C-alpha cells in the first residue's frame, strides 16, 4: 500500500494553530502516511512540542512538490494561499477551519476522525476554476499571477472614487466611477464580491462576476460574463496617478494611469477534497446562518 505524503500548512507562529496541526498529525500517523512540514517551522514547533522525528522538515517548495495531499489549517485566507501554490501541480487540498467562517474548509477541528477517509479513498475532488491575472503597460506584460477568489482594482487603503474602464475583448462595456471593481470566480462570489452586492454563483457555473464597489451611479450594476471572455480593466483615473491591483487579498501590484489588467480563465484549477455529502447550497445556508450569529 502506498504511503501517503501529507503536508500540514498553517501559521505555526500562532500557538493554537500549531497545537491544532500537531493534533491532526497525531491522528494521521495512526494511518500509513508521512507528515511533511516546511523546514522554517521546525524551531517554532520545538518550542511548543518536543522534536518529532516522525515529521519530515523540508524546504517549502519541496513540501508542495512532494506532497500527495495538502491540509490547510486556518481560515479561507490560508486555503487561498495554498491553492495558488498548489495549482500548477493540481495537488488536492483539504481545509480544516480554524478561522471564523471558513467557507471553503471541509472540516472543523473537532471532526478529524473523518481523516480516515483519505486513506480509504472515500472522498471526491471538487474542481474550482481560477483566474489568470495579467498586468500590462501598453503591449508589455509586466506581471501575472493566478487567483482562486478574485482580483480587485481600487485606491488601496484610501477610500476615494476612481475611474476604471471595463472592456470585453474589443468591446468597451462601461466606465465606472466607484471605490473600485471586483472580478471574481464563482468561488469568490461568496467573498468580497458578495459583500459589495454581487451575485452568489454556484461553483459549477462557468463565469466571471464583475462587481463595482460603492459605484457613484444608479446605472452601475454587477455583471456576469462567460468565463470564455477576455476582460480588461484600464486605469483611466485623471486624479490618481496610481491605483492598486490586489489578488486574492494577498498579492498587491501598482497600477499606473493607462495600465491595464487583463483577466481570463486560467488553465489551472484548484482541487478541493470533499468528505461530506453536503452540497453547495446546503453549505451556503449553513455558513451564512453561522455568520449572522457571530
| Burial status of residue 61 (CB atoms within 10 A of its CB: 0-12, 13-18, 19 or more) | exposed
What's the CATH number where 257 sits?
2.60.200.30
* pLDDT at 23 > cutoff 60: yes
Q: What is the DSSP string of 126-187?
A: EEEEEEEEEEEETTEEEEEEEESSEEEEE-TTS---EEEEEEETTEEEEEEEESEEEEE-TG
* pLDDT at 280 > cutoff 80: no
For residue 108, what pLDDT band results from cuts at 50, 70 and 90? Answer: very high
Domain range for 48 is: 4-123+275-293
Q: What is the pTM of this model?
A: 0.91
What local confidence, expressed as pLDDT, does residue 177 receive? 94
Owner of C-alpha cell 497600477: 255
What local confidence, expressed as pLDDT, does residue 172 receive? 96
59 and 138, same domain (yes or no) = no
82 and 101, same domain (yes or no) = yes
19 and 107, same domain (yes or no) = yes
169 and 230, same domain (yes or no) = yes
Known catalytic residues are: 76
Short-list 268, 291, 287, 265, CA closest to 127: 268
95 and 151, same domain (yes or no) = no
Instruction: Please enumerate in sequence order all residues whose Cβ is within 8 A of that of 78, keeping only pairs 6 or more positions apart, or say none.
Output: 9, 10, 11, 72, 95, 98, 99
**Into how many domains does the chain fold?**
2
116 and 225, same domain (yes or no) = no
What local confidence, expressed as pLDDT, does residue 164 receive? 96
252 and 288, same domain (yes or no) = no
Q: Are 38 and 63 in contact (CB under 8 A)?
A: yes
pLDDT tens digits for range 174-192: 999 999 999 999 999 999 9
Please tell me what DSSP assigns to residue 221.
-
| Burial status of residue 120 (CB atoms within 10 A of its CB: 0-12, 13-18, 19 or more) | exposed
For residue 102, what pLDDT band results from cuts at 50, 70 and 90? Answer: confident
Higher model confidence: residue 99 or residue 131?
Answer: 131
What local confidence, expressed as pLDDT, does residue 31 receive? 93
Q: Provide the percentage of residues in the chain whose pLDDT is more than 70.
A: 95
What's the CATH number where 119 sits?
3.40.50.10330
Q: Burial code of 266-292, b = ≥16 C-beta within 10 A, e = fewer?
A: bebbbbbbbbeeeeeeebeeebeeeee
Average pLDDT rounded to a whole number, residues 97-106: 84
What local confidence, expressed as pLDDT, does residue 101 receive? 73
What local confidence, expressed as pLDDT, does residue 285 receive? 79
Q: Provide the percentage of residues in the chain whose pLDDT is more than 90.
A: 79
pLDDT tens digits for range 49-71: 665 677 999 999 999 999 999 99
Amino acid at each position: 500500500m502506498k504511503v501517503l505524503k501529507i503536508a500540514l500548512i498553517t501559521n505555526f507562529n500562532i500557538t493554537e494553530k500549531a497545537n491544532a496541526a500537531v493534533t491532526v498529525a497525531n491522528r494521521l500517523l495512526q494511518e500509513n502516511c508521512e507528515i511533511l512540514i516546511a523546514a522554517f517551522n521546525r524551531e517554532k514547533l520545538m518550542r511548543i512540542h518536543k522534536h518529532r522525528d516522525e515529521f519530515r522538515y523540508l524546504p517549502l517548495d519541496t513540501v508542495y512538490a512532494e506532497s500527495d495531499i495538502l491540509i490547510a489549517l486556518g481560515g479561507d485566507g490560508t486555503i487561498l494561499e495554498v491553492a495558488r501554490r498548489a495549482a500548477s501541480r493540481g495537488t488536492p487540498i483539504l481545509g480544516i477551519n480554524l478561522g471564523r467562517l471558513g467557507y471553503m474548509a471541509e472540516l472543523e477541528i473537532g471532526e478529524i476522525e473523518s481523516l480516515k477517509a483519505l486513506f480509504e479513498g472515500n472522498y471526491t475532488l471538487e474542481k474550482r476554476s481560477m483566474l489568470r491575472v495579467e498586468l500590462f503597460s501598453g503591449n508589455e506584460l509586466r506581471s501575472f499571477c493566478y487567483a482562486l477568489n478574485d482580483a480587485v482594482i481600487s485606491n488601496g487603503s484610501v477610500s476615494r472614487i476612481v475611474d476604471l474602464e471595463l472592456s470585453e475583448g474589443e468591446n468597451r462595456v462601461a466606465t465606472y466611477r466607484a471605490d473600485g471593481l471586483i472580478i471574481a470566480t464563482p468561488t469568490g462570489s461568496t467573498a468580497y464580491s458578495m459583500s459589495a452586492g454581487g451575485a452568489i454563483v454556484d461553483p459549477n457555473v462557468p463565469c466571471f462576476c464583475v462587481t463595482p464597489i460603492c459605484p457613484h451611479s444608479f446605472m452601475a450594476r454587477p455583471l456576469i460574463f462567460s468565463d470564455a471572455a477576455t476582460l480588461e480593466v484600464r486605469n483611466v483615473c485623471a486624479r490618481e496617478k496610481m491605483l492598486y491591483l490586489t489578488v486574492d487579498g494577498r498579492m498587491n501590484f501598482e497600477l499606473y494611469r493607462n495600465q491595464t489588467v487583463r483577466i481570463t480563465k486560467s488553465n489551472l484549477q484548484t482541487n478541493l477534497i470533499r468528505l461530506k455529502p453536503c452540497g453547495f447550497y446546503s453549505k451556503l445556508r449553513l455558513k451564512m446562518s453561522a455568520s449572522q450569529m457571530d
